Structure 1
Amino acid sequence: METQTEIRSLWDSLLLWFNEEAVGIVFQIVGILLILIVGKILISLLKKWLTKSMGKSKKLNELMQKLILKIVAAVAWILLLVVILGQIGVNLAPIIAGLGVTGFILGFAFQETLGNLLAGVMIALNSPFRIGDYVEIGSISGSVRDMDMMSVTLATPDNKRVIMANKLIWGNAITNYSFTETRRVELGASIAYDSDVNKAKEILWDIINSYPEVLPEPKPMIEVIKLNDSSVDLVVRPWTKPGDYWTVYFRFQQEVLEKFRDAGLEIPFPQIDVHTPDAKQA
C-alpha cells in the first residue's frame, strides 16, 4: 500500500509539473522557432534588397558587394541569436567575457586565414580589378573568373585554372590590362638598310588602316625607332579595345611578312662580313 501511495504521489507531481512547466516550455520552443523563421525571412529580404541596390551602383565591385552582404548577414544572425538567448534566459555577460580569450586563441591559430581575409578587404576597398578583367599578378596572367574574401580565381590564356590567395595578390604588383576602354598595341617591323623606308611606312599604314579593330583616336603612330647593326627598326602603335588586342597583334605579323615580300622589301637577319687577305699576298 505504501508503495502504491508513493507511486501515485510521484505521478501526481509529474502531472502537476507538466501542467505548470511543460506548457511554458512548449510556448517557449514555439516562440524560438517563430523568431528563427521570421528572422531568416527578414535576413533573406534584406540581402535581396541590398543586392538589388548595390547592383545599380558602379562604384561597388563584385568583391565589395559580397563583403557587404556577408557582414550584414553575419551581424543580423548574431542579433537574432542574442534575441533567442535572451528568450531562453541565458546570461550573456560570461559569454561576452569569454569571447576575448577565444578570439585571441583563434586569431593566433588562423593568422594565415586572417591575413587573406584582410587582404581581401583591401582588394575590395581599392578595386584593382573586376570579374572579367585580364590581369597580370606577379608571374601569373589571366582573366579574373571569380573572387571572394579569401582568394581570386584566374583563367590563363591556355585555359588553366589558377587560384591565388588574396595575401599573395595584395603583396604583388597588379597590372590590369582591361582597366581602360582602349589599349595600345606595340608592333614592330624591320627592313634592310638599302630598302625604301617611306615605302615600308606606306605599306604599314595600309595594313593598319584596313583593320576595323583599330581605333581612329588616339591616332596610330608609325616611325623609325632604332638603327640596328643589320636592320632599320620601325615601331607601329595602333590603339584598340582590350578585347581586340591579340587579334590585331597576330594578324599584323603575318601580313607584314607577306606584303614586304610582295613589295620586294628585304626583311633582314643578323649577318657578319668577314674579310680575308689575298692568298697571293700571304
Structure 2
Amino acid sequence: MISAMMALIGEAAAADSFFGQFIYRLDGWMQLGPVSFIVSFFTGLLMVLVGKLLIAWLCRILKRSLARSKKINDLMARFILQLVNIIGWIFLAVAFLQHMGLNMGPVLAGLGISGVILGFAFQETIGNLLSGVMIVINAPFRIGDYIETGAFSGTVTDMDMICVILSTPDNKKITMSNKLVWGNPIVNFSNIERRRVELTVSVPYKADLALAKQVIKNIIDTYPEVLADPAPVIEVNKLNTSSVDFVVRPWTKPADYWKVYWRFNGEILDKMAQSGLSVPFNQLDVHIIDQSKAN
C-alpha cells in the first residue's frame, strides 16, 4: 500500500525535479529493503569522509605553497583556502546525492533560474563577496595593519568573504561588511616605512620666536624614535588672534607615531616654562575713551 502511494506521488511530481526524484528513489529503496539502503548510505558516507580528508590535504598543501609565495599576502591566502574548501564541499554534496541515485544534472541546470532569484534576495551578500574578492586582489591592507576606512579606524584582526574585523585602540571590536570597506577610501597607516607626526606649538606674540624654535628642536633631538632623514620641520605656520603657531613635523616609523606624539605634548609645557616662555590665551583689548577730555 505504502509503495503504491509512493509511486503515485513520484509520478505526480515533475520527473526532473529534485523532490520528484527523491520520492521515486525512496520508493525504490523501500522495495529493495533496508539493507540495500543502509549499504548505499554508508558507502556514500565513506565517500564523503575520504573526500573530507582529500580537501583537508589539498588545503594543507595549498597553504604551504601560498605561504612561500611573495606575491600573495595572508588575506589572499586565507580567502583562497576558504573558497577551495567551500567548492570542495559542494562537489562532495553533489557526488553523495548522485551516489544515492539522484540525477543531479536537471537539478544543477535548474540552479540557473534559481540563481537569478537568489541573486536578488542575497544581493548584499553577493556584493560583500565580490568586494572581498577586490580587497584580496588589490591587497590594500594585511592582518595587523592599522587602517582607517569611512568613519572607523582600527587594527585589522580578521577578514573572511563577508566582513572585515577591526580592533580599536580602546579595545572595541568593529565588524564591517566588505562592501562598506571597499566602498570607502582606505588609509593604511602601517604599510609604510615612515610616518610624519603633526604637532602644533603656540606662543604669545611677545615671545622670542628664535628661542621657542630652539626649545622645540632640543626636545625633538632627544627622541631616538625621530628619524634624521627627512629632517624635522619646525616653522611658523599661522598668526592667530592671540598666538603665533609653530608647525612641528618630525618623521618616525609607524609603530612610534603615538609614542612621540604623546611624549612631546606632555613635555613641551614644562620645557617652555623652564626657558621663560609662557602659553598664550585668548585676549581682548578694551580701550576706554574719556569723552569729557576728548571734548
Give the TM-score normalised by the residue count of structure 1: 0.84
Larger deviation, residues 52-61 vs 114-123: 52-61
Whether 1:178 and 2:207 are equivalent positions in the alignment is no
- Alpha-carbon contact 1:63-1:149 (below 8 Å) kept: no
Q: Deviations 1:171-208 (Å, cap 9, x if unpaired)?
A: 22222111202110001112222222221121111111
2:38 aligned with 1:49: no
In structure 1, give the amino acid aligned to 2:137.
L
Q: How does 1:45-124 map to 2 (within 5 A)?
A: 45-124=57-136
Aligned to 1:9: none
Q: Which residue of 2 aligns with 1:281?
A: 293
Structure 1 position 29, deviation (Å): 4.8
Q: CA RMSD in A?
A: 2.3
What secondary structure is seen at the aligned counterpart in 1 of 2:170? coil
Look up the equivalent residue of 1:57 and give its one-letter code.
S
Greater CA radius of gyration, 1 or 2? Answer: 1
**Cα shift readout 1:35-75 (whole Å, capped 9, x = no counterpart):** 22222111111111111221233432333222211222233
Any stretches of 5+ residues in structure 2 without a counterpart?
1-31
Would you say 1:167 and 2:183 are equivalent positions? no
Q: Which residue of 2 aligns with 1:235?
A: 247
- Give a deviation string over 1:256-278, Cα, whole Å, max 9, x none: 11111110113222212221113
Task: Report the CA distance shift for 1:113/1:22 in structure 2 as closer, same or farther (over 3 A).
Answer: closer
Alignment of 1:105-144 (within 5 A): 105-144=117-156
Aligned residue in 2 for 1:158: 170
Instruction: Count how many residue pairs are aligned between Structure 1 and Structure 2.
Output: 263
1:140-187 CA-partner distances (Å, limit 9, x unpaired): 122112111111111222222111111221222222111202110001
Amino acid at match of 2:62: L
* Identical aligned residues as a percent: 54
Equivalent position SS for 2:246: strand
More displaced stretch, 75-84 vs 265-274: 75-84
State the Cα distance separating 1:24 from its structure 2 match: 7.0
**Alpha-carbon distance between aligned partners in 2 of 1:24 and 1:250, rounded to the nearest angstrom:** 75
Task: Check whether the contact 2:146–2:155 (CA below 8 A) recurs between aligned residues.
Answer: yes
Query: In structure 2, the residue corresponding to 1:212 is in which secondary structure?
Result: coil
TM score, norm. by length of structure 2: 0.80
Deviation at 1:85, TM superposition (A): 4.4
- 1:23 positional shift: 8.2
Contact 2:41 2:100 in 1 (8 A): no
Unaligned runs of 5+ in 1: 1-19
